[in-house]
A = this chain, B = another copy of it.
Amino acid sequence: MPNDSLSALAKLVLDFRTARDWKQFHTPKELAISLVVEAAELLEIFQWRQGRELEEAIQKRKSEISDELGDCLHSILLLAHDLKIDLGEALAEKMRKMEAKYPVAKAKGKPKKYNELD
């Protein structure tokens, strides 16, 4: 599977940046701003719609959604690289914490936030 490796994707993104000398603009704070802006652009696609209309919008705008997901991953990869965070390990660690916080016996079939109120 091509493009399945985080390190290969990070290299793609970093080579692009290095060639343009853009690291100077990519402070962690700017990258975090960027991530929020892109995540909000993604959410905008789902805005005001419910049910069948929402489904239709999703199908119709699949390539936009794909683009926004690419944008978000782009910012995340740069942030992780610049802050020397192992992104895959960050996720694995998060899932270990989630396993402890939401044991199957207690959490099954209940929305996370609902569960937190217990």
Contacts and interface: CB of A to CB of B under 8 A. Distances in A.
Contact of A30 (B39, B48, B53): B48
Interface residues of A, number: 78
A12 B95 contact: yes
A74 to B, nearest CB: 6
A111 B109 CA distance: 32
Scoring A42, A53, A89 by chain B CB atoms within 10 A of each residue's CB, the highest score goes to: A42
A36 B97 CA distance: 21
Interface of A: 1-7, 9, 12-13, 16, 19-22, 24-25, 28-30, 32-37, 39-49, 53-54, 58, 62, 65-67, 69-74, 76-77, 79-80, 83, 85-95, 97-99, 102, 104, 107-109, 111-114
